[in-house]
Amino acid sequence: MHTNTKKSSKKAWVGAIAQPATEFSLTPLSIISGNIPVGLRGTLYCNGPARLKRGDKIVGHWFDGDGAILAVHFTDGDVRAVYRYVQTAGYQEETTAGKLIYGNYGMTAPGAFWNKWLKPFKNVANTSVLALPDRLLALWEGGQPYALDLQTLSTLGLDNLGELGKGKTYSAHPKIDYQTGDIFNFGIEPGKNPQLNLYKSNATGKIVQTATLPLARLSLIHDFVFAGPYLVFFIPPLELNILPVMLGFSSYCDSLKWKPQLGTQILVIDRETLSVVSRSETEPWFQWHFANGYVSDRGILIVDMARYEDFQTNQFLKEVATGITHTPAQSQLSRVQLNPQTGKVTGIETILDRNCDFPRVPPQNVGQNSRYTYLSISRQGTDISQEILNAIARFDHKTDTLIEADLGENRYPSEPIYAPDAHNPEQGWILTVVYDGNTHSSEVWVFDGEKLDGEAVCRLALPSTIPHSFHGTWKAARGSEGV
């Protein structure tokens, strides 16, 4: 793997993360343009790293920033938003100290050796959210979730979902079966004999079934696929040397080695029994995120993902924290077809040859064939070594066509989040939080899901700048469509 070390000037996206974000309490939002759709009733939640430095010290990787949640409540009366840091134990301790004292994914703990060993990492709760009936979970794959109040975002404390034992992790990418309300997720247990812990929860979040499977190696598993009767894991050809990490000599990021000769391992798991159906291996690649998976009428397992040729994406994301990037990391929307009973891959194809990530389908289509995939992409002509993703789009699998919402120069939308209309099941809205580098401000944009390449139907001003988020969700108002 090589990197281009040529320096470049800072781009407009840097403004969103240059300073720690400013919280705000529940505030009515003013309409910049358009009108709020009558059927848009519920809450948009977004999570991301909002503090990348304390004092003059910057974290080691974008993934290391303290998490903060944005909630935008759409009601019959108005739209109100609140933005708050997740009050993790590590966040509170560093706030009191006024400096960074913990290590994390991309850094070892500052200071003397004893501190590196005593404070190897903190739970930053900065990656995603899971909206349950009575609470919101802020997710981070290296630990347990933090529970928050759905309305005010007050931190309620660590949440073990009834069954998570001490030291168990709960990934940032749970999958919800829209038909049953079942929630599936996983956690990695490192060590000499690494394990994959599987969890099935009911709609309240309570874990009702678990399983533990051995892993051949300790890799980086960020996401997985819910594909109807199956859960599917693609384990990239990375190998983590855990000993230097545990001793405080190295960060997780720096201890992960790309080994394409290992190939990508595939685990197909029965969703009912949580037992292995097949294990197999295919060519090497890396992926952060999957769009969806389903079983075709012919019994073929089909999985769509944002696929990278190698692990250079990790270096690019590490550079983001510094405000200057120079490593190109190209991805493509790709489709893998395999036999679930044997794991044998029967086809790999590029669906969309555009740099992209954060792919997702409407929530009611998760685990089923979905005509549309929504995703974040790079605008045409973008230098991907210097810019983060700066547009959103919808790919139509029936017609193989792409429609794109080009928000203009120096504007950076969050991942597109689908919100079903409360009154019309055929209607859906696409929501995204936009950082405008031209004015150093943030807005909520609402698009008609069928007209993503048209004007936003509504734009709402936010009280302060919201740093680029990672993942979010939509929670429909009680009595509306959605789980």
User: Which tokens in the block code for residue 186?
Assistant: 């996983």
48 touches 67 (CB < 8 A): yes
DSSP H helical segments within 291-446, as ranges?
312-320
Nearest to 478 by CA among 133, 199, 205, 60: 133
For tokens 């990037």, the residue is 325
- List the domain boundaries for the chain: 12-476
pLDDT at 480: 56
DSSP secondary structure, 265-319, as one string: EEEEEETTT--EEEEEEE---EEEEEEEEEE-TTS-EEEEEEEESSSHHHHHHHH
Q: What are phi and psi for residue 154, nearest 5 degrees?
A: -65, 135
H/E segment holding residue 226: strand 225-227
User: Which tokens in the block code for residue 329?
Assistant: 């990391």
pLDDT tens by residue, 159-201: 999 988 888 999 999 999 999 999 999 999 987 889 999 999 9
User: Could you list the mean pLDDT of each consecutive 10-residue stretch along the chain, which spans 483 residues?
Assistant: 52 96 97 96 98 94 97 94 98 96 91 75 96 98 96 97 89 96 95 92 97 94 97 96 83 94 97 98 98 97 98 97 95 98 97 96 97 97 95 97 94 97 93 98 97 96 97 88 41
pLDDT tens by residue, 113-136: 777 777 778 999 999 999 999 999
301 touches 344 (CB < 8 A): no
For tokens 């044998």, the residue is 344
Cβ neighbours around 439 below 10 Å, total: 12
pTM of the predicted structure, to 2 decimals: 0.95
pLDDT at 166: 82
pLDDT at 96: 97
229 touches 238 (CB < 8 A): no
Residues paired with 448 in a beta bridge? 429
DSSP H helical segments within 42-119, as ranges?
89-97, 113-118
b (16+ CB within 10 A) / e for 113-150: eebbeebbbbbbbbbbbbbbeebbbbbbbbbbbbbbeb
Environment class of residue 34 by beta-carbon count within 10 Å: exposed (0-12), middle (13-18) or buried (19+)? middle
Which residues lie below 8 Å from residue 78, measured CB to CB, with a gap of 6+? 28, 29
The angle at the Cα of 275, spanning 272 to 276, to the nearest 5 degrees, equals: 125
User: Which tokens in the block code for residue 154?
Assistant: 């007050």
pLDDT at 479: 64
- State how far the Cα of 48 lies from the Cα of 363, in Å rounded to an integer: 21
CATH level 3 topology of 12-476: Methylamine Dehydrogenase; Chain H (2.130.10)
